[in-house]
Amino acid sequence: MTNYTIIGLGRIGTSLGMAIRSKGGSRVIGYDAENRAQNLAQRMGAVDDIEWNIDKAVADADIVIAATPAGSLYDVFDGISQHLKSGAVVTDTSPSKRAVMEWAQELLPSNVGYVGGNPLTGASIREQKDASGYIFHNAKWAVVAPPSADQRSIRAITDLIESVGAKPVFMDAHEHDSFSAATTGLPAVVAAAVMNAVSTSPSWSEISRFVGSDFDHITTPASSDPASSQSAAATNADMLAHWIEQLIERFQAIRAGLLDDEARFASDGILADSFIQAWEQRARLEAGVADRRPVSGEHAPIPSSSESMMGLFFGSRVAKVMGGGKEKKKDSTKYDRRRMN
């Protein structure tokens, strides 16, 4: 039987406890600084028992999962370091890995393993009460192992990941933090900026009546716990700053296009290009081909000699049909610019 301790019983920690316990053959101890979170996790069946003292919570643990905001992990590691048993393995679920790996190396004893993790569930669960063990099913789970990690520790974490239905993906810490900043940090920043820019307008009370699905979708990340959002941003500041710079460049280009009386109506101007590129990339993402490079330099197939002759009399479309040729299948991820005119 494997003894697990989950530190931090928010939406992820509680969901993970539910997933682990559903498989059986283990014991899960839960700890959270808030009594309410501990009690709710126990009522939801996420833990076998709860501990009020963090040192007792980890004393018998084979695997410790720190599911707290990234910024609090220094204190967590510091608080448990003297109470972990030899051979225990520590992991985390934070979106920042470089800083956390440094803290683990500094604070955790040498007879304890550490392997970083980040469940990429994509689930829209915002609160602990909505936690579910099913959010990990078929989800990717980033695994960031420091050079000092031994195979036993790595295997312990990948076994855990696979046991809850997720798929481990090994990544470098720098790569992970850049990707994490782009896909979770940047949306949080955009949501905060849009919400603050619009809500501080003197006309906000009237503007709020116009709020619909578009505004709701783009500002949804602003409903996340500010402590978690700030923690994730602060521990991955340089990567997030890089992506903000990329965003500012796009904003400035769009702004320039809007202020150009001719360019803003042009089908090949910066304004049109911005919307078309975004439309096409979103289409590729939804089609599941975002990880493949789009085919460039495509040309129409050369017609046969008979098709060429018929084309002189009937037109190329009719000639192709009469000649037995087939129309090329339309690429659903390419926008028809003729619609811009």
Asked if residue 119 has pLDDT above 60, the reply is yes
Contact (Cβ atoms closer than 8 angstroms) between residue 135 and residue 15: yes
Q: What is the pLDDT of residue 340?
A: 75
Q: What is the pLDDT of residue 17?
A: 97
Q: Convert the pLDDT of each residue in 23-44 to its tens digit.
A: 988 999 999 999 999 999 999 9
Confidence of residue 171 (pLDDT cuts 50, 70, 90): very high
Higher pLDDT, 154 or 316: 154
CA distance 259 to 211: 26
Q: Convert the pLDDT of each residue in 204-250 to its tens digit.
A: 999 999 999 999 999 999 998 898 899 999 999 999 999 999 999 99
Asked if residue 293 has pLDDT above 50, the reply is yes
Confidence of residue 58 (pLDDT cuts 50, 70, 90): very high
Q: DSSP class of residue 208?
A: G
Complete domains list, the chain, with CATH: 2-171 (3.40.50.720), 176-259 (1.10.3660.10)
**SS3 helix, strand, coil % of the chain, rounded to 5?**
55, 10, 35
- Average pLDDT over the chain reads 89
Q: What is the mean pLDDT of residues 241-262?
A: 95
CA distances to 283, 298, 320, 331 from 328, in Å:
19, 11, 11, 9
Contact (Cβ atoms closer than 8 angstroms) between residue 165 and residue 192: no
Higher pLDDT, 311 or 71: 71
CA distance 70 to 227: 10
Name which of 58-67, 88-97, 293-302 the model is least confident about: 293-302
Asked if residue 331 has pLDDT above 60, the reply is yes
CA distance 232 to 140: 19
Give the other-Cβ count within 10 Å of 271's Cβ.
Answer: 20
Asked if residue 309 has pLDDT above 80, the reply is no
pTM for the full predicted model: 0.83
Q: Convert the pLDDT of each residue in 174-215 to its tens digit.
A: 999 999 999 999 999 999 999 999 999 999 999 999 999 999
Name which of 70-79, 216-225, 328-337 the model is least confident about: 328-337
Asked if residue 311 has pLDDT above 70, the reply is no
Cα dihedral 108, 4, 139, 246 in deg (nearest 10) = -30
Spell out the residues 6+ positions from residue 16 whose beta carbon is closer than 8 angstroms to its own. Answer: 6, 46, 65, 67, 93, 119, 133, 136, 164
Confidence of residue 310 (pLDDT cuts 50, 70, 90): very low
Residue with tokens 């490079």: 293
Q: What is the pLDDT of residue 292?
A: 76
End-to-end CA distance of the chain: 67
HSE of 208, CA atoms in CB hemisphere, 13 A: 9
Q: Widest CA span of the chain, in angstroms? A: 88
Q: What is the pLDDT of residue 307?
A: 46
Q: What is the pLDDT of residue 301?
A: 45
Q: What is the mean pLDDT of residues 299-318?
A: 45
Asked if residue 306 has pLDDT above 60, the reply is no
Asked if residue 73 has pLDDT above 70, the reply is yes
Question: What's the chain's length in residues?
Answer: 341
Q: What is the pLDDT of residue 339?
A: 82
Q: Convert the pLDDT of each residue in 121-141 to its tens digit.
A: 866 678 899 999 999 999 999
Q: What is the pLDDT of residue 304?
A: 45
Confidence of residue 338 (pLDDT cuts 50, 70, 90): confident
Asked if residue 266 has pLDDT above 50, the reply is yes
